[in-house]
Structures are given as C-alpha cells and as structure tokens.
Structure 1
C-alpha cells in the first residue's frame, strides 16, 4: 500500500474516533468566558466525568499513535510545503487602505463611546468592540482565515506618522515586555471592572495607547510591533495557525497549521513563554469559575490574603507551572532522542505546535460568547451614544457544546501532527523521531483532560471581583 493510501486510511480512522468522542460529550454547554465577563454558560455531562475525560485524553493519545505510523517524509512534507501563491501588491494596497481606515475609526469610536456614551457594559460600544469584536471574533478570524491585524492596527499607524528616535532595541528584552503585558491584561480583566465600567476600560486602553505609541516612537514602529507589543504578538502567533499566510512575495494558501512547523516562527525563549501564556490564560479563565477554582480562591482569601493578590498569585503560579512542565518535557524529549541538539533549540521548535491547542481553547471559550453578543455589538456600533435599552442576544442551541468539544479535540490532534512533523524534521532516524514525541504527547494528553474537565463543570461567578 502506498504512503498516501495508508495516510488516507489512518486519517479516516482518526476522524471516526474523534467523532465518537464528540458524541460522548453531548449535553456539554458553552465554556465559560470569565475574561470577558459579559456572559457565562455551563452545563452537565451526560456520561460519567471519568469516562468523558479518559476518552478525550484517549483521542489525543490515539491520534498520536496513528500519526506515528506515518513515517514517509514525502507524505509529511507534502502537507506542510504545499501552497498556492498570489501577488500581494494589489491586495496590500486596497486592503491596507480599507482596514487601516477601519482600525482608526474603530479606535476613535471606542474613545468617543467611552467618554460620552452610556456607562453600562452590556450596551457600551467601548466594551463590546474591545471584548466581542476584538478579543473574541477578530481572534477567531485570525486563526481560521488569516491575520488582518498588521493592516488594522491603529496604534502602529499613529506611531508611523510621528517622528521616531530609532533607539536600538535591547536584545536582552527579547519579547518579555509582551509576556508581562499579556499576563497583566489577563489579571486586570479579572480584578478590575473592565466589562461593567466603560470608564475604567477606557482608562486602561488610554494607558496602553500611551505606552505602546511612546515605545514605538523610541524603538521604531517596525521593531516594537514585531517584538514588544502584546497585541501584535497575540495576532501574529494566532495567525500562524491560519490557512492564509503572508510571505515576502505575496500571500499563500496553506493547509491549516502547516506554518507551525517552520523554524522561524518561535525564535527565542520569550516567544516560548508567550505561547505558553496563551494556553495558560484560557485555562486560568476556565478554572476560576469552576466550583474547585471558586473554593480555592475563597480558602486563600479566608486566611487573610487580598483577593487581587490571590488572583495574581494563581495566574503567575499557574503560568510558572506550565513553564516548568514544558521544559521538563523538553528535557525528556532530548534524553529519549539521544540527540546533541540543544535544550533551547528543541524548546523553540516544539513550542509552536502548542498554538494549535491555544486556538482550540480560544474557539471553545469565545465562539458562543461572540455569537450570542453579536446583535448587541451591531446595535452599539450603529448607535454608540444612544444604544437600545434592551440589547438583543442570541440564544445558543443545545447542541452548541458539541462544537466546543470538537474545537478542543481538533486543536490537540493538530498539535500532535505538527509535533510529529517537527520531530521528523529534527531527527534523521524514524525511531528516534518517534521516541522523541512521547513526553510531549503525555503533556498534550494532560492538557486535553484538564481543558475538557473545565468545560464539563458547571460555572459560577468568580468570587471577590467587581461587578
């Protein structure tokens, strides 16, 4: 049997297994979205939780085993190297003008609605554009279609219109400012009334604007928005999952996730940290609204710790745990592969596949949130200063939980495939490449079971946070 025929048969088996697991998840409702805080969801699992988690983890493990059977390097390379290209000149000219205008107008609308619009989160254009349009829907478009942020980014256009100092960017900084800023924003979403008070959200956005524009003026826009800006890094890394990729010669259409196997995507340890932060912040947002998370927070506050410090400690501590577990897995990978490749280099190459997991998590957390509040967003944009008093929301059907479970599982399965590809790119021997994947597969199965467990739990309001 040819390599392609074998691949087709194994793919069919893997898809059938995935669909069976999704069927077991019937009745699981929308994942909670505490970061946005405008709506929550929850539901019951119709099968025992232990079986639900075991089968979810088993799906990822089975997909990894099936993937390991694909050892033909030509078959692996075909998926990741095949692309359709087109010239970028006309697309860039038209798209840059249109999206640039949309970005600037959107920023102006956010500021105007925050200053003189209604001070109610559910009807405020400031809140809805930030969280529904930006954090939810634009991010989903970024990893399912392509990254429009370089053309949309209003802060970059403002910075490019100003005289710049072009100071050298300290190499030691790498992208650590973006990592710290991302974790800070996630913390503020919990402890500050950003979703209920447009005034507070506007103040945070104005502080971010001052910080990012001044940094871009000092270090040059091209350098800062490539290395230090958290929003640009957020969309660039999520955009690497998308089928439409921008190149030096234009745009190319690739298989979803194939960009994640490229060696030039994650180039330093700070980018590894940012990837792990993307995975952790979604896990954290789900954890703090589960009964177990709420009890943990209440116990810590009960012994006298301030709530804001409890949330900060859980956020930073969980991120540190993810960081430690990842590098332990890399150490075990290096040992099993018996390679002279450095620990750092292996860590850089195997970090990008985790972006597929982050995309699956994000879709599960935010697709229901974005769709249900889409009518409110449209109403707020149409009349930002006097929106309707009773905003419309879509009621999601009961089967919507299937879509969320599918997103989590497919994200993990794609991550397994990308890690398989990277291992065959790094190691010349087939058995060496397969052995190297075992530690990372264990980590991915663990991530799968944790995320499915969080989705399966009924949700509660996070305690001790402003409403």
Structure 2
C-alpha cells in the first residue's frame, strides 16, 4: 500500500513524464528558465564552434612553435610584502568567521525557517559557497586552504586533545585522491537527488564535520586535507588556473603568496596519481550530467521505454507503472552519475591511445593521461560557470538580506533584511550567447594548454601536432555536446 504523500508524488511525476513525452523538441536555452528561440539553428552553432576550435588548433601550432623544454614555474613572491602581512593579520579572524558561518548554516537548518528561500543555510551553502566560491578561488587563489572551517575545528580540537591532528596511521600512498573522489560524487548525488530541505542540509553538514574530525584523528590533518577532504582538493585544482599561488605551509614548508601567469599552473604541474585525473574529469562530467538530467531527451530515454524491456517487466507501460518504476529511475540516474567520470575517462584514454598510435611514442598511456590531465580543467570551469551563473544571479544576492534574518524570524539585525531580494535577470539572448562564448573560451584554452604540453613531450613539431588531432576531436565533441545540452527543453523530476 502506498502512503498518501507517495501517491501524490507519483501523480506529480506521472504528469511531468507524460508532458515530457508529448512536448515538441523546441529549442530552449538550458538553465535560463524561459523559452528562447535561437536566432540561428543549433547545428550552425555547432559547426561554428567546431570551426573555431580547428582555427585555434592551427593558431596554437603556429604561435607556440616547435618542441620546448619542460616549463618552469615562474613566480613573483610577495610573501614578504605589506599586502601579505595584512592578510596574515586577518587570517585568524577569517578562520573563526568560517567556523561561525558553518555553525550558523547547521543551526539555520535545524531551527530556522523551513522555507528554502528564507533559510540562510541553504542559500549560503549551495549558492554562495558551492557555486560562487569556485569563481572567487579562480581570482584570489586557494585561500580556502587557510580558511577551511573543518581544518580550523581540527586545529581547535588539537588544543584540547594534544596529538589529535597527528593521526594514528600513515596514509596509504596508493589511495591517492580516491577518497576525495568518492566524497565528491556523494556530495553531487546529495545535491542532485536530495530533498532540498534545510534539515537535510544541516544533517549533512553535521555528519561531514564529524567525518572530517574522525579522518584527521585517523591519518593526520596533513594527509586528510591533501587527499580526502574533497573541497580542499576541488579548490586546489581550480586555483591552478588563477594568477595567485597561495601555499598554506606547514612545519616543513613556509607559507607563501606568489603571483604567476594565469593558467601557468596547468602547464608546470601534472597529476601525480590517476585518482587526481579522475577527480578533474568528475568536475567536468558531473556538471554535464546535471545539465543532461534536466532535459526532455534524458527523461524520455527511460520513460518512453525504447527497448520495451520495462513494459515486458512490469506488464504495463512505464507511465502506468510509474509508482513502481520511480525508485528504479532514481537508481538508474544515480548509477549514471557515478559512471559519468569514467565514461569521460574512457573517451579521454581513447583519444590518447590514438595520439600514441599516430606518433609512435613509447610513452605509456598512463603517463600520457597524467601529462595532459590538467588541460581539461578550463573546460570543467567553463561548464560550471555556464550552468550555474544564472542560479547565482537569481539567488546569490539574497544572502545580503538573509544575513539580517538568518532564521526567517522577520529580524533585521544589520538593516539589510530588505536589500537585494529581487533576482538579476539579464536578457535571455545575452545569457545564451554568453554561455556559448564561455564554453568556446574554455575549450580554446584547453587546446592551447594541451598543445603546449605536447611540445614538451614530443621530439618534433609534427609529432606534437599529430598527438593533438585526437584531442581536438574530443574537445569538438565536448563543445558540441555542451551546446546541445544547453539548448535542450527542460523537464526535471525533483525528488521531494
């Protein structure tokens, strides 16, 4: 017997499914939230994007020249300057503020308003932190390493319980970043399939905080925050694209603040472990999956039952058996989310296998995969910006008003309760063309970075160019698929 609430959800989902299957495939700018007819057909955008990447590939071959020595990191060290000194004075207060905001998010989840739009925790964590902070990291460097509230909690516990952050066992070197990847995929699953209620977020943050403290106790703070705590890994990878290199420092190495050329970190550094590469691919794959799962095409793949297997299994059409199939649909989507990084890994390794065959290089596939691993990060960041900037504009500014009323009790603590409550809604055509430009820019940067790395690995200019032909085809495929996802009509089933 189905509970009344479950019955209501079944009818809602069934209506959405039937509407999806009957709607025409009119072009819509994904993530915009409003119908938008493209000024030219989508295929023309695809061909134009492909031609732009081919032209960029040719320009990279001309501009970057012949083989080069491995790039050396070049920095302007400003660690001893007044700006760095001022930042050092602020760090203790900012670390304390980070912990207070974390605790406020948890408290708002448990005792604050149940209305997601009026709950400080939901807006701050999902919009300000999860979406906006990556962009700040790109500009300001990996200052999360200094401000990480979970590390601050661990350091505070160390003052009370001496030896807590030293760990009880050595971190297994073979694990690499696999724990961080598992936590990251779990986090994305919670984001996409969680119920979006304030209490759920508070429970998640409480559990994640306890997990961090336990992990630090087990393997030590240094290893845990380098390999396991996924926000630390995520922001460290994003910071490679930026012009500021911040090193937190420890007992053996000093704290450093240095300037460098944007994106130079992608050339001078490379993943040291396959797990790091897969984590970088997961940053790209999960964002693409988030866009794909909201499209009519994706929903119809399951519910239209093209193979007939669901109808044969249930003895009725998927629409008629929706009450039984909804949990299976959620499981199906969850499996695809977990598989997405490895699907991208397979395509990436195939491109490198072709590159290895074209050039005849004896360098193992695993080493080539690590060599070019960071060249995909500009694409991952471009996908993130295109898919989530509209959400930041629509909901991000609300945090200014919620600061004065974090629990939804009609307070006005700082006089900002009525500030910036209206969303910013740019013209739809500006959003669409901005998304197209960002996707293209990310792929163009990746083309140049990958070609620069190839010039360090291959003995001749010809081999370097040949090695990048399969990578160019891969990037064209990613560009076209990204534009296709953005242009799909939206129908998303939310698990309430």
Scaled to the shorter chain, the TM-score interval is 0.7 to 0.9
Residues 241 and 256 in structure 1, CA contact (< 8 A), matched pair in contact too: yes
Alignment match of 2:258 (pick from 247, 252, 255): 252
Q: What is the 5 A alignment of 1:331-410?
A: 331-386=353-408, 391-398=421-428, 399-410=430-441
Residues 44 and 458 in structure 1, CA contact (< 8 A), matched pair in contact too: no
| Structure 1 position 107 matched with structure 2 position 102 | yes
CA shift for structure 1 position 249: 7.0
Q: What is the 5 A alignment of 1:231-380?
A: 231-246=231-246, 250-263=256-269, 265-299=270-304, 302=318, 304=325, 306-380=328-402
CA shift for structure 1 position 253: 2.4
Residues 345 and 272 of structure 1, relative CA distance in 2, 3 Å threshold = same
Q: What is the 5 A alignment of 1:411-430?
A: 411-430=442-461
Distance 1:387 1:57 in 2: 53
Greater shift in the superposed pair: 69-78 or 410-419 = 69-78
Residues 278 and 342 in structure 2, CA contact (< 8 A), matched pair in contact too: no
Distance 1:334 1:223 in 2: 35
Residues 75 and 169 of structure 1, relative CA distance in 2, 3 Å threshold = closer
- Per-residue CA deviations over 1:81-135 (Å, capped at 9, x if unaligned) read 5543312562552242243122112102101211211011111111001111111
Which residue in 1 is equivalent to 2:476? 445
- Per-residue CA deviations over 1:314-372 (Å, capped at 9, x if unaligned) read 21233332111111112122222222222111111111010110111111112221122
Residues 250 and 321 of structure 1, relative CA distance in 2, 3 Å threshold = same
- Per-residue CA deviations over 1:255-303 (Å, capped at 9, x if unaligned) read 321110123x411000011011000011001101111112124346838
Residues 129 and 424 of structure 1, relative CA distance in 2, 3 Å threshold = same
Residues 42 and 459 in structure 1, CA contact (< 8 A), matched pair in contact too: no
Residues 336 and 450 of structure 1, relative CA distance in 2, 3 Å threshold = same
Structure possessing the higher radius of gyration over alpha carbons: 2
CA shift for structure 1 position 243: 1.5
Residues 141 and 147 in structure 1, CA contact (< 8 A), matched pair in contact too: no
Distance 1:429 1:182 in 2: 39
Which residue in 1 is equivalent to 2:229? 229
TM-score, normalisation: structure 1 = 0.85
Residues 174 and 74 of structure 1, relative CA distance in 2, 3 Å threshold = closer
TM-score, normalisation: structure 2 = 0.80
Residues 155 and 120 of structure 1, relative CA distance in 2, 3 Å threshold = same
Greater shift in the superposed pair: 199-208 or 303-312 = 303-312
Distance 1:73 1:66 in 2: 13
RMSD over equivalenced CA pairs, Å = 2.5
CA shift for structure 1 position 441: 1.1
Which residue in 2 is equivalent to 1:189? 191
CA shift for structure 1 position 31: 4.3
- Per-residue CA deviations over 1:44-78 (Å, capped at 9, x if unaligned) read 32111111111122222221121111243699989
CA shift for structure 1 position 237: 0.7
- Equivalent pairs, count: 428
Residues 143 and 246 in structure 2, CA contact (< 8 A), matched pair in contact too: no
Residues 379 and 387 in structure 1, CA contact (< 8 A), matched pair in contact too: no
Greater shift in the superposed pair: 362-371 or 284-293 = 362-371
Residues 29 and 489 in structure 2, CA contact (< 8 A), matched pair in contact too: no
Residues 42 and 424 of structure 1, relative CA distance in 2, 3 Å threshold = farther
